[in-house]
Each structure stands twice: as structure tokens, then as C-alpha cells.
Structure 1
Amino acid sequence: MDRSPPAPPATSLPGTRPEPTGQRLSVRLATPRGFCAGVDRAIQIVERAIEKYGAPVYVRHEIVHNRHVVERLAALGAVFVEELDECPDDRPVVFSAHGVPKAVPAEARARQLFFLDATCPLVSKVHIEAERHHAAGREIVLIGHSGHPEVIGTMGQLPDGSITLIETVEDAERFTPRDPDKLAYVTQTTLSLDDTAAIVRTLKARFPALPDPHKEDICYATTNRQEAVKRLAEVSDLVLVVGSPNSSNSVRLVEVALRAGARDARLVDDASQVDWSWFEGVERVGITAGASAPEQLITGLIEAISARFDARVIEDDGERETVSFKLPRVLQS
């Protein structure tokens, strides 16, 4: 099944085509960009559930943070809710890719709901890591953004007070552990690599015994996309990041691009959100997309740019991702 929504129209009056400006543009596409393995798996879980069990299938929270993906799945028969009490007892429920507190599946079991967990396996790895630290008697620091569903889910794996959230270097400087020798940290998977490194340096300077995770918590897709956008920013006047405003990894790409030297960087849900005044005096445009943005939205953006400018499009030779995650066994047949 094609998981890309139709490309939204470019910003022009109905029934008209924009007038080409003659302005020459070099358009460079980041590699990698767009869907990661965890997002692809989560979307497939909703699609397969609708195919196998019929509509409606309820989804607790947006399955991934992209408006176009959510709208397309809603059209297929997904019903998006915030809490389980909005779900009937006789329909399947899917938990989003961001993960959920332990209380959520416990409530589902108590109600005898049939549920499918679309939590990204790399988020589940952080959950397991936090549980191991807790079992070893360590106080846990979670580096992340308050209110993000992934952070809520990770903190909800353990009893209240087991995890302290740290969002900034200033938070790290103020933090006072119960025992500096029994301390560990985990991170949200979609953070800025550079921001996280600065927080970890601050913590380690204060608490030298603080151990590193066995494997980096910030996921491969976040890392690869941030490294790709850094390369893009070095040779771009303007960087456009395709993604929704509530997508943490997409927002981080804009921040990374600006820090890496792009004169301007903007987040757009699709081509219809482009303000063409951004292109004044621009010769080199970089395009990338957050891990929850479908490739078709990038195609639509390139088409909108090409309709206005004399655009030469080239693709970076970046990291080629081959990661994939299995679907739940019940959906594999």
C-alpha cells in the first residue's frame, strides 16, 4: 500500500500556474531524509489493522507526528484519540510510535481491549534501559523535552520520582542527585545531537562517575538526518525542512541547519506553506524532511519550486539506510 498522501497544491490561485521568474536555483536534496524504519512500521501497523479487522481502528495519540499521514489514515478508517476512555471495548487500539506509560497497556488489559503496540523499537530500548538502571538502584536523568509523548512514555515506565527530566544545560547545572555515585542517564531519541552532547558534558563534569548508555539513545535516523542537514547547510542559502510543527526531529533539523551555517531555514508542512519571498536573493536551496514526513511531500515541494524557478535538482550522496523492523506477529500473516 502506498503510504504517501497526495502532494498538496503549490501556493497559487485555483486554476492558475505560477509565472516562472527565470531565477536560477541550485536545489540540493539531503540523503537520508523522510521516513525512518520506526515510522514506516507504525504506519503499516495501522494500515494492516484496518485491512484485517475493518474500520474503525482506534489510535491513541497521533501515530506519528505528521498531519498528512494522520489525515490519510483517518480517511482509511483510523480514529485518533488522546486517551483510552475514548475507545470502545470492541475495536482494536493502536499505541503510537512514541511509546506510552506502563499504565496505558495495563488499563487496556484490565478492559480486555485488543491492542497493538506501534512503539518504535528504539524507543522501547530506552524504556528497557531505564528499567535496568532502576532495578540496579540508580537515579535516572532523562534528557528530553517536557510534554513530548516520548518523554511522557519513558517517564511512565517507572514509579513517580524515579526519573528527573533535564531539558537544558542550566537544568543540568542545577540538578542535585540523591547519590552522585548511583546515577545514570537516558535520552529522548529525537534530540539535537549537539544540544544533548552539551548537557551530557555538563553532567559528566559534575558527576564523573556518570556512565554512558551501552548504545547511543538518540536514534540512527535522527543522527543521520542531522548530519545530512549539516552538510546541506554548508552549501545552502535557504534550507527547507518538510515536517509538521509538532514533530520534534523536524524542528531540530531547522535548528541544526541554522547553526551549521544556512542563512535561513524554515519548517513547512508542505509546498502550500512556502512563502516565496524567502527565495529573494537565494541561489542555493537545500531540502530535507523529518523522519515522519512522506517522500511525496518532498516531490510536491520540488515541483512547486521548479514551476517558478529555473531549478537544477541534485541529490546528496549520503548515508543509505537499510534498517527495518518487523510487524507484530498477529499482523504478519
Structure 2
Amino acid sequence: MSGIRPPLDLLIAAPRGFCAGVDRAIRIVELAIEKYGAPVYVRHEIVHNKFVVDTLKAQGAIFVDELDQVPDDVPVVFSAHGVPKAVPAKAAERGLEYLDATCPLVSKVHRQAERLVSAGRHILFIGHAGHPEVIGTFGQVPEGAMTLVEDVEGAESVSPPDPTNLAFLTQTTLSVDDTAATLAVLKRRFPDILAPGPDDICYATSNRQGAVKAIAEQCDFMLVIGAPNSSNSLRLVEVAERSGKPARLVQRAADLDFAWLEGARTVGVTAGASAPEVLVRELVTRIAERYEVTEREVETVAEKVVFKLPRGLEAA
């Protein structure tokens, strides 16, 4: 067989895969199981990745959609995407021990929202309706204090209560380019809109999109490992397509259709922030079944971010 495998160059984007917030969230669940014993309940998928969720289930995590499904006297973990304030309040009311695995960069947006609203500003929030992170951020402030803006069209049509007293915030996992375009419209329509600080799009989202841009021009096709409900993974597919290259999202190596690669000489591979490196290796191994693979990692920036664990878990 080996003699007839066609050659294929694989460009592996770096950074890719797990970010510091995802690493921390998964570790919180693992340490909670060590500390309290199984089962430990987790409200919502801890991160948007089936492989990660299934691995934690095997260790003793039970995933539920709502707090009502958590029995009394067992610990519960809140997912990396963040939760509305009402959720920890309800957990405390029931006397549940809870651990908050919200990514610190999402928590930062939560605190900004509170500060802006208490200063009397109305917030235009750039994000995707129904995403857990958006639901969590809206749940930090009184109803009506924020308006969701999903895209450029939404930015053109939004009519806030007091156009002279606005601020904006954004979901952390958006497309850098899309957000810039949406923001440009808001700034044109509302010149006094307050930018609360540096961009809220997280370092990992920006870095992974930058890494895809850096290799896309050299590739004939891009493969992105990630879940269909993972915002940052879907954005990586869009970034590749905007660079003029066909791209596909795959959850596992088994999802690869070799027909996609026909005629390709160079294929780019990356992974969303909630996809573990083991899935990248699995995909490369599967491609190597049919191709004589030459692999090269292209690093655009080195990531050294680490987030501290919650107090009481470091010792576990």
C-alpha cells in the first residue's frame, strides 16, 4: 500500500485547541470529583466538546440542563460559559455546594456589564442569541439594561432608549473581523458610545483565528476540529472560507470524508478552543492511512496564559 499513497502536506496551526479557560474548567470538574467523590453534577456542557464531556462522564460527572435536576447535598459545577446571577443565588438558597468554572475572561465581561449599568449606561451587547455565554452575561444585569446586536444589520437597525448614553460589550468567542464591522456601524451611528476597555474577544479566539489566516493562503483545504455548537470553532471555519479556501468542521477523525481532500496538495488543520490535542493526533493518523503525510506546525504566537483554580480546589 505505502508505495501508492499520494503525498500530502499538512500545515498544523498553532495556537490551536485548548485555551486556559477550558483547561481550568475541565480541571475544576476533575478536582471536584477527586475531592467530593462521584457523582459531581455539572450544569450544561462544561465546554462545547462531546469527547471532553464523555471523558468526564466516565470519571463520574453528570451533566444536566438546569439546577432543578441537581439533587440536594451534591456539589454542582457551573460551565465555562458563565451563568446568570440567579443560578448561584438559587444554589445558595438550596444549600448546594457549587464551583464556578466560568472562564475568567467571561467573568471580566460580567463585571464590566454590572459597572456600566450601575453608572447609568445602556449596553449594546454584540453576540449570538441563545449562546450560553450571552444568556449568562444578560443575567448579570436587570432586564432591559442590555440590547443584543447580532451583526452589521442589527447594528444598523438597533434603536436604544437613550442613544447618547451607551456602552458596548462583546461575547468573547466572536469573529474578530465581523465584530470590527459591527462595531464600526455602532460607532458611526452612536459616536458617544463608550468602549469600556480593550476588546472583549478573548486572546485565544483572536490567536486561533490569526493562526488560520496565516496558513489558509498556503492550503487547498482546511479542517477544523470542534463541535457544531462551539462558537469559536464555527468562526475558524468562517475565517478559512473568507480567506478563499473550502473548510469543514469535524468533531472526530471518523467524520472526515476523503472526497474533500481529492486533488489537494496541502491541507490545513486546526482545533477550536474546547477540542483536545488528542483529537488532532487522531485526525492526522487517519489522513496518514491514505496519504504519505508531511507534517509542519506553523506557530504565529506563543500562548503562556494560565488561570488560577478556585480557592479550596488547589489543595485537592
284, 288, 293: which one pairs with 1:311?
293
Q: Deviations over 1:135-169 (max 9, x none)?
A: 11000011000000000000010111111001011
The question of 1:131 aligning with 2:114 is answered: yes
Q: Residue 280 of structure 1 corresponds to which residue in structure 2?
A: 262
After TM superposition, list the pairs within 5 Å mapping 1:172-211 onto structure 2: 172-211=155-194
CA–CA separation in structure 2 for the residues paired with 1:19 and 1:58: 48
Q: CA deviation at 1:19?
A: 7.8
After TM superposition, list the pairs within 5 Å mapping 1:1-333 onto structure 2: 21-262=4-245, 264-333=246-315
Q: Gaps (5+ residues) in structure 2?
A: none
Q: Deviations over 1:239-263 (max 9, x none)?
A: 000011111000000001110122x
Q: Gaps (5+ residues) in structure 1?
A: 1-17
Q: CA deviation at 1:114?
A: 0.1
Q: Is the 8 A contact 2:122 2:145 kept in 1?
A: yes
Q: Is the 8 A contact 2:214 2:300 kept in 1?
A: no
Describe the SS at the equivalent of 2:14.
coil
CA–CA separation in structure 2 for the residues paired with 1:226 and 1:282: 22
Closer, same or farther: CA 149–21 of 1 in aligned 2, 3 Å: farther
Q: Is the 8 A contact 2:166 2:193 kept in 1?
A: yes
Q: Deviations over 1:74-118 (max 9, x none)?
A: 000000001000001111000000000000000001001000000
One-letter amino acid of the counterpart of residue 183, structure 2: V
Q: What count of residue pairs does the alignment treat as equivalent?
A: 315
Describe the SS at the equivalent of 1:331.
coil
Q: Is the 8 A contact 2:151 2:182 kept in 1?
A: yes
Return the TM-score normalized by structure 2: 0.98
One-letter amino acid of the counterpart of residue 192, structure 1: S
CA–CA separation in structure 2 for the residues paired with 1:216 and 1:300: 34
CA–CA separation in structure 1 for the residues paired with 2:3 and 2:145: 59
Q: CA deviation at 1:318?
A: 1.9
Instruction: List structure 1 runs of 4+ shifted beyond 6 angstroms.
Output: none
Q: CA deviation at 1:21?
A: 4.9
CA–CA separation in structure 2 for the residues paired with 1:125 and 1:215: 12
Q: Deviations over 1:15-34 (max 9, x none)?
A: xxx98752111100001000
CA–CA separation in structure 2 for the residues paired with 1:206 and 1:216: 19
Return the TM-score normalized by structure 1: 0.93
CA–CA separation in structure 1 for the residues paired with 2:47 and 2:266: 31
Sequence identity (%): 62
